[in-house]
Amino acid sequence: MAMCWTPLSKLSTDRDNWTIKVRVLRMWDAINTKNNEFISLDMIFIDEEGSTIHVIFRKNQARTFRPQLLEGRVYTIKNFRVESTKGEFRPVHNDIKIWFMTITTIMESNKDMNSIQKYCFEFADYDQIQNQCYNYTYLIDVVGKLVAVGNVEEPQVNGAPRKLRNLQLLLKEGKEIRLSLWGTSVWQIDEDVYKNNPGPFVLIATSTIVKSFGGKFSLSSTSATKIYLNLEIPEVAEIIDRNGKKHDPIQEIPKIHAKQFSEEDFSSNNMKTIPELKCIEWDPAKQYVNCYCVATISNIDTTMGWYYISCVLCGKKVKPQSGSFWCAKCETKTNLPIPRYRIQIEVFDSTDKTTFVIFDRDAEKILNKSAKDLAEKQTEIDIEEGIPRDLKKILGRQYIFLLRLNEFNLKDGFENYTVAKIFDAPSNEKKIPMQNLSDNKSASTNFITVDAALKFRYQSGNSSNLLPHKRFYNSIQTSGDGVLL
C-alpha cells in the first residue's frame, strides 16, 4: 500500500500525527555566542514541492536524533509537533516550524533521492539587504563573486577571544559588501581552493544578519551560516557567465583589529589619569588629540537618553519629517531608521571623576546587544531611572578607554569626552560592588546637562552668564543639531 505524505505547505498546528517526506537541506548546532553553550540541533527540511521549514531538536533530544539524520539525505518522518514561528533569526520564510518528540519516527527513503531538489536558497538582492539592516526577524542568504579574503583574526569579544575572517563579495548589482565569518565558520573557507585554482569563485553564504558601520552595510555569520563555493546552480552559473574568462586574483584584506592591552601598555606616555586629561593644552594646529585612560563606570546619565534615532546608511541622527525621517547628511528620507547608542557615563579613577560618551559600536561590544534590541525590550525598562536593566550591568566595570579630545574639550573646557574605542582592562574581572560606588567620592558628581543649561538661561534671561561649556550646550540645543556619530 502506497504511503501518503502531507506537503509541508499543508501542515498546521492542530495535530501531531503528520507524515512527511523531506530532504535534510541543512543542519547546524545553535550556539549561544555569549557562553558558547549548545542550545539545540537545528535543520531545514525541503519537500517535493520545494517548500521549506525550520526544524528544532531540543538539547536533550540531539544525542538521540543526530545519528539518524544526515544532511542531504531523504527521509519519511512521522509524529511530530507543529508550532507557530515567533521571534527572530528565522532561517526560512514559513509561519510554522517543526519540533521533534520522543515518539517521532524516521525512515530513510533511498529510492526517492532524486525526487526532491538538493539545494534551495532565499537570495536577497542589495535593496533587500538594505531593508534588512538590524532587522533580525529573517536571516539573509546571499550570492556573489569572491573578490577578497582576510586572514583568521582573534579579536576580544565580551572579554574572550573569538575567531574572525572577513570576506568581500561583489553582488550581481555591482555593489560590494563585507561578510564577516565568526567562530567555526572561519574554517568553511578552504584557502587551497582559491589560491591554487584559476577562478572565478562565486560564494554563497546562508543565514546571515545585516549591520551597518561608517555608512556601509555588512553581513555577519550566525551559527546557521553555511558557505558554498561554485555550487552548480543557475544563480552561480549566471555570475560566472557574466564574468567570462576574465578573473582578477583574490585580494587580501588586512587585519582590522588592534591588539588588546596588557599591563605593560600602562606605562605608555599616552596613558592619562583624569586630572591629566583635564590639563591637556589646546593646540589650534590639531583637530583632535587621542589618549588612553583607565577608568571605572559608576553612573549613567539619562538626561539626554541613552540612544538616538539614526539613518541606516550613514549612522547620523535623523529628524522626523512628514511621517518619515530626514537625514541631512544623505539628503534623503528614510522610512527605516534604527536606534544607535549614545550613552553618557560617569567614570572615576583613583584621582578624579569625569564624564565619557560611548557611541554605538563600542556600547554594543560591552553590552553584547544592539540599541535596537534594548529599545524594543520595554518590559525590561527600569521605570524609576528610565533605562534598560541590561544597560546597568556595565556599572562597576573598569575599561581602557581610547578618547578623542576635540576643541570643545580642550578649548572650551567641555568634560564630555568622546570614546573612540574600548578595551578590556586586565582587572575587569574584579567588578566593584554597586554599594561601594556610592561610597567612593570619585563616584558622585553633578552632571551639567543641556536641559540644566537652558533652564538657567531662561531663569537668568542672559546667556552671557553661562560658563563657556554651558554656552556650547545652549548653542547646540538652539541650533537643533544633535550629537552625531
Residues 6+ apart with CB under 8 A from 269: none
Higher pLDDT, 16 or 155: 16
Can you name the residues that pair with 149 across neighbouring β-strands?
167, 252
DSSP tag of 153: B
Residue with cell 540644566: 452
Task: Label residue 232 by pLDDT band (50, 70, 90).
Answer: very high
Residue type, 221: S
Residue type, 343: I
125 CB-side CA count, 13 A: 5
> Model confidence over 291-335: pLDDT tens digits?
999 999 999 988 888 999 988 777 788 988 888 888 888 888 877
pLDDT at residue 284, rounded to an integer: 86
Higher pLDDT, 218 or 433: 218
Residue type, 257: H
Mean local confidence (pLDDT), 153-165: 81
Say how far residue 3 (Cα) sits from the centre of its chain: 46
User: Percent of the chain at pLDDT above 90?
Assistant: 48
Run of H or E including 365:
helix 360-367
245-249, 268-272, 426-430, range with the lowest pLDDT: 426-430
Q: Evaluate if residue 461 carries a pLDDT over 60.
A: no
Q: Evaluate if residue 475 carries a pLDDT over 60.
A: no
Run of H or E including 281:
none
**By the 8 A CB rule, do 149 and 201 touch?**
no
Strand, helix or coil for residue 299: strand
Distance (Å, rounded) from C-alpha 398 to C-alpha 444? 16
The count of other CB atoms within 10 Å of the CB of residue 436 is 11
**By the 8 A CB rule, do 53 and 8 touch?**
yes
> Model confidence over 355-401: pLDDT tens digits?
999 998 889 888 877 888 788 765 555 545 667 788 888 999 999 99
380 φ, ψ to 5°?
Answer: -110, 20
pTM of the predicted model over 0.75:
no
Distance (Å, rounded) from C-alpha 130 to C-alpha 124? 10
Which of 43, 25, 22 is CA-nearest to residue 115?
Answer: 22
Run of H or E including 216:
strand 216-220
List C-alpha distances in Å: 454 to 142, 262, 278, 357: 50, 44, 25, 21
Q: What is the dihedral of CA 111, 114, 119, 122, to 10 degrees?
A: -110
**By the 8 A CB rule, do 419 and 402 touch?**
yes
> Model confidence over 7-66: pLDDT tens digits?
999 999 999 999 999 999 999 999 987 778 899 999 999 999 999 999 999 999 999 999
pLDDT at residue 424, rounded to an integer: 81
Q: Evaluate if residue 149 carries a pLDDT over 90.
A: yes
Task: Label residue 264 by pLDDT band (50, 70, 90).
Answer: very low
Q: Evaluate if residue 443 carries a pLDDT over 50.
A: no
Task: Label residue 158 by pLDDT band (50, 70, 90).
Answer: low
List C-alpha distances in Å: 303 to 30, 307, 345, 384, 448: 39, 11, 11, 13, 10
DSSP tag of 271: B
Strand, helix or coil for residue 59: coil
**By the 8 A CB rule, do 38 and 31 touch?**
yes
